[in-house]
Amino acid sequence: MAIYHCSVQVIGRNAGRSSVAAAAYRAGEDLVNEYDGIEHDFTKKNWVEYTEIILPDNAPSEYSDRSTLWNAVEMSEKSKDAQLCREFELALPVELTLQQQIEVAEQFTRDKLVSQGMIVDIAIHNPPVMNDRHQPIDKDGNPTKDVSKMQFINPHAHIMATMRPMDEKGKWIPKSKTEYLCIKDGEEKGFTAEEFKEAKEDGWEKQYKYTEGKKKVWLTAEEGQERGLERVNRSPKTTPYGRKNEIIEYWDSKDRIFEWRQHWEKVVNDKFASLNSETRIDCRSFKDQGREDELPTLHMGTAATNMERRAEREIHEGKPEAYVVHSDIGNINKQIKEHNRFVRELKAKIDAMVEAAKDFVGELAKKLEGIRAKIIGNKYEESILSHDMRFMASKMNPVGERLEKYRVEISKAEKANEKVAKEIKKLKKELAACTTLQFLKKKQLQEQIQELQEQIETRKDYVQNIRRMCGYASDAEYQEAAADYSAKYKDYEKMETTVKRLQQDNKQLSAEYQSEISKTAPSIAEELQEKREAARTEMETATKSKLKEKYGYGFEEGKFADARRDTDEKLGIKAIKVNIKQFIRDNKIPAKQKDEQTPELGKKKSNHHHR
């Protein structure tokens, strides 16, 4: 199955961005933003494979020029936090040629964006795989300048779409209309200017702000005149943001995102079908695909990805695994992938066992024991991830404490210095107002100003000392440490979410188990118990085998026993008698260790317990 990726974001001024800068970067061009006069030169950008602007029928033809289009967008928006454009990022299947990738990108934009009135700007990128020094590398991880040896495995399209609709003459339509809050018989209701023309005939009146003593009140013009009050201004009462344009409201609906994502899947899969290819992409979540037991991996940034590549190269070159350094996220993702493989194989095995059951009681027995085995496996996985979380927290906590200490001290110092700066400003005004004869007062004011300025400098020295005590050479290093801590904390939260998902999965499995038990007729209880005992060993052994295969020598019998004991306790399952000889054969326990490793089976240990 090919990779599916379709993300949508809004580019706005509130994040310090501009549509001109975004378009210049994506197209690899030199554009000047007329809104702020800043030039954005990205003509040296490589790996831009294709660019194109597609206009709806009512758009001016001059908007086919990239600079004209996005400067028109910038100049049409006056607000400092305006939303400028919507960007789609689409993963293009490597199984398609460049021309076929262009075709699916164009079809998607024409079907769902241009047809709805948006102007779109398409840019297709296909950068090579690079190392942490931003050097293209070959399949062995070695830097190369030979294009034929580079790995081009991430073709993707950036599609920028306008957010303000146009009228039939190609003029931008306002994003919202002013909505007046009118009143009638004590009821308040909003009307646009056009709607108010009819509403006022029905008795609705606009409200204005009046001064009544020390208070400000909203009254109709007639009520204000009757009370003899003075109007604050000529502006009527309105809703804070007006009424959003219906087209924009339709575009901004969350339903559109689902619609766009599903249509991208359809366009790509239709292209594969037309090429007689069995490759497909799937926009559904793991749950919707019937893979709810599997866990999504964590996002790996450039640093972690390159660290994993170096580790793979070192292993390939023969370096012992014990001396190879992997990233924390890489290790976590490895465990998640192993968990998913384990879940898939165990599910397949359990499904096969259930399918093989010939009778209803046998099927029910295998189903119940299958649920139990999955819960045990999940609990074991949960214990491993929880251990990793504690390890990660032990490294993060000291860093977080240092960051918080420095932040608190900085905040205190800044607030104190702001207060002192205001006092200095006040004293300087008094000093400037002094006459020549007030030399004693001038001297006193100068001394006060100097003392306050020394306080500011002393606080600056104090902050620098605190910074050094916290281990930061500069404010930039502190900011870098804070950003790194924030990124790691997000990863920690993702791990925490993963553990919660495992717990939620077990909660659902337990509920399913109890539901099946409650529906069991008393007449089959004895037969069901016998068949469950026969199936339990088989499914529990399968679960343990998969875990042993996954963790190798790192597999812990104790943790598995804890997971099993905790599962049986919560499900209300009584311990089943186990054949000791069979247990020893299954676990391959040497004769000299038998007494010590099977205490739960009734064996007594030697006198190690005696004091």
DSSP state of 203: T
Count of structural domains, the chain: 4
Same domain, 122 and 190: no
Same domain, 229 and 123: no
Distance CA 235, CA 501 (A): 53
Q: What is the tens place of the pLDDT at every residue in 144-191?
A: 999 999 989 889 999 999 999 999 999 999 888 899 999 999 999 999
Same domain, 85 and 209: no
Same domain, 444 and 393: yes
Q: At what angle do helices 360-433 and 328-356 cross, to 10 degrees?
A: 160
Question: Which amino acid appears at position 121 of this protein?
Answer: D
Same domain, 393 and 508: yes
CATH of the domain at 125: 3.30.930.30
Residue 279 lies in a domain: no
Residue 280 lies in a domain: no
Given a cut of 70, the residues of the chain with pLDDT beneath it are 1-2, 132, 284-305, 350-359, 574-611
Residue 1 lies in a domain: no
Q: What is the tens place of the pLDDT at every residue in 403-453?
A: 888 888 888 878 888 888 888 888 888 888 888 788 888 888 888 888 888
Residue 281 lies in a domain: no
DSSP H or E run through 91? strand 83-91
Residue 331 has a pLDDT of: 78
Same domain, 457 and 547: yes
Distance CA 121, CA 123 (A): 7
Residue 37 lies in a domain: yes
Residue 249 lies in a domain: no
Same domain, 260 and 137: yes
Same domain, 365 and 235: no
Residue 598 has a pLDDT of: 38
Residue 399 lies in a domain: yes
Same domain, 550 and 456: yes
Burial of 197 (0-12, 13-18, 19+ CB in 10 A): exposed
Same domain, 204 and 328: no
Residue 9 has a pLDDT of: 92
Residue 299 has a pLDDT of: 61
Cα distances (angstroms) measured from residue 575 to each of 453, 511, 521? 78, 21, 22
Whether the Cβ atoms of residue 55 and residue 61 lie closer than 8 Å to each other:
yes
- Report yes or no on whether pTM surpasses 0.85: no
Residue 148 lies in a domain: yes
Same domain, 343 and 471: yes
Domain that holds residue 312: 286-575
Same domain, 23 and 159: yes
